[in-house]
Amino acid sequence: MESLRARLARRPVLLAPGVYDGLTAALATAAGFEALYLSGAAVAYTRLGRPDIGLTTMSEMADTLALIRDRTALPVIVDADTGFGNALNAQRTMRAYERAGASALQVEDQSFPKRCGHLSDKRLIPAAEMAGKIRAMADARESAETLIIARTDAIGVEGFEAALERAEAYVGAGADALFVEAPRSGEELRAVAARFAGRVPLMANMVEGGVTPVSAAQDLEAMGYALVIFPGGIVRALAKTAEEYYASLHAHGSNRPFAARMFDFKELNARIGTPEMLEAGRAYDGGEE
Ligand SMILES: C[C@](O)(C(=O)O)[C@H](CC(=O)O)C(=O)O
């Protein structure tokens, strides 16, 4: 199977949807994507019903990843936030995520606790400390094919030029791919690509209603991006459906008015592999002896 590193080195752009559990991983895989993105924000939104402000723990993410790994053979790019502490914590995160099946870890230069890149009032660690964290993670990884995607949150804190300088330092420290978080315009998205495309694979993050204008993957490819994630879109879609579903059930005392927008029992079972699993189980139930 083609490595993620090799896949990022060629076109077309790799489009990775956000997932946060076994069901979303199974549905995204069935839809035909080539890679998945395990979003820390999506885990915080769904498991905690809370914002992406560093509340989720490393082991909660690793446990979630293990469930997803059990449900898909696709490469999984995993949000490692700040590495959950200093360089030594980041090494432990690297090892735990690798064991749980990560194909790439995304690590950012915010101080702990971090917050979503599209929120304000972020704080950063010094660039040299972040470079050390990247080197520490590279030293800790079992496989050189587990990629390190370095993210800088500096645009909203220190300005655009400072963010590019930080990104430069992180490439120098050995990052396998680069994620300059939250460009504020198409011009900034293009300027990031103009500086780095062709030297290191570039990732773009599309957050509906966030700081960066949302573009299609194809348009980002034309700018020079190699990887595009839509991390939280699935939660925004499901949350809207859930809100409407609960309101409808509450109002009508029945699901009938909502039926056209739901899978029924059989339809859901088909998507989660119920017939195949029950069939496979029959081989072990002793009935055939
Ligand atoms: C990419 C991200 O780190 C994530 O957790 O998915 C978030 C996305 C979001 O909050 O929707 C981010 O900080 O941009």
Q: How far is the CA of 101 from the centre of ligand 1 (A)?
A: 20
Q: How far is the CA of 219 from the centre of ligand 1 (A)?
A: 21
* Same-domain status, 22 and 38: yes
pLDDT (0 to 100) of residue 220: 98
Domain span at residue 264?
A: 239-282
* Same-domain status, 201 and 263: no
Q: Which atom of ligand 1 is nearest to the CA of 106?
A: 3
* Same-domain status, 161 and 99: yes
Q: Do the domain assignments include residue 155?
A: yes
Q: Do the domain assignments include residue 65?
A: yes
- In which residue ranges of the chain is pLDDT below 70? 287-289
* Same-domain status, 184 and 277: no
Q: Do the domain assignments include residue 96?
A: yes
Question: Which residue intervals of the chain are DSSP H helices?
Answer: 4-8, 22-30, 40-43, 58-69, 87-100, 127-140, 155-158, 160-172, 186-196, 217-223, 233-252, 265-271, 274-282
Q: What is the pLDDT of residues 31-63, one digit of tens each?
A: 999 999 999 999 999 999 999 999 999 999 999
* Same-domain status, 256 and 126: no
Q: Which atom of ligand 1 is nearest to the CA of 231?
A: 6
Nearest CA to ligand 1 atom 14: 117
Pocket, ligand 1, Cβ cutoff 6 A: 18, 39-41, 52, 79, 116-118, 205, 207, 231-232
- Domain total in the chain: 2
Q: How far is the CA of 55 from the centre of ligand 1 (A)?
A: 13
* Same-domain status, 133 and 260: no
ipTM: 0.97
Q: Which atom of ligand 1 is nearest to the CA of 181?
A: 14
* Same-domain status, 132 and 275: no
Asked if 193 and 167 count as a contact pair (C-beta separation under 8 A), the reply is no
At 175, which CATH number? Answer: 3.20.20.60
Q: Do the domain assignments include residue 274?
A: yes
26 CA to centre of own chain: 15
